[in-house]
Structure 1
Amino acid sequence: MRDKMIKWPAIIKYHGDNELSYISSGAEWETDQGLSTACYDADDRLIDSDGVVFSIASRAGSITVPTAIEERLELGDMEDLVRVHFSSVGECCVSKFSISSIAEGITTVGQFEES
């Protein structure tokens, strides 16, 4: 896996789905078989704390290998993703949600999953 390229934590943005999945670390990615061995859609993306976007459709044997693509998420785009995510899971007042960094947006998704 190209873990050294990924700045953890990260989220998975599934194509055609508003919900996001939080991944706390490379260790979680590697040990959670639901993550590392899943068959992802060609348009599913892993987004790291720096906003770097990875394709997660490539595989090495049975393991999914995140591959950086020529795409970077901007702060406003991350804010929109998190707002839509929270709205899709029934949270109210998402229009007032704001973040100061992409990492903060990802961490917020993780904190919500833990509660």
Structure 2
Amino acid sequence: MISWPCTLKLDGDDELIYLGSEQDFISECRELLLCDDDYVIDSFGNSYVIELTSGKLELIKTKRILVANEVTNLIRAHEFKKASLCLTKIHFLTVSDAIKSLTY
């Protein structure tokens, strides 16, 4: 079962999109052109591909589990794009903490 909040990682883009709930996921994805390599990371590091089945968006769990360091690196790239934080100060002990930092 997916653990909210999550983040949406779009293929080819360093920007991460914070998803606080399933409703946020549905709202965000309605506005986007998704590709096969986009994925969602939940608060435990589980990754999910996005599939459109019978007009409904579904999250399908993959075998890939990201650790805190991997999610931290994604957030560093995200923040570098915004040029608003010192990247060396970005560090998280858990995936959940990393994802929650995107709300700020």
State the TM-score, normalized to the length of structure 1.
0.83
Structure 2 CA distance, aligned partners of 1:79 and 1:24? 18
Q: Which residue of 2 aligns with 1:10?
A: 6
Q: Which residue of 1 aligns with 2:73?
A: 80
* One of 82, 85, 88 as aligned partner of 1:92: 85
State the TM-score, normalized to the length of structure 2.
0.91
Structure 2 CA distance, aligned partners of 1:38 and 1:88? 19
Structure 1 CA distance, aligned partners of 2:85 and 2:24? 30
Query: How many residue pairs were aligned?
Result: 104
Structure 1 CA distance, aligned partners of 2:31 and 2:86? 36
Q: Name the SS of the counterpart of 1:65 in structure 2.
A: strand
Stretches of structure 1 lacking an aligned partner (at least 5 in a row): none
- The letter of the residue matching 2:42 is D
Stretches of structure 2 lacking an aligned partner (at least 5 in a row): none
Report the identity percentage. 24
Q: Which residue of 1 aligns with 2:102?
A: 109
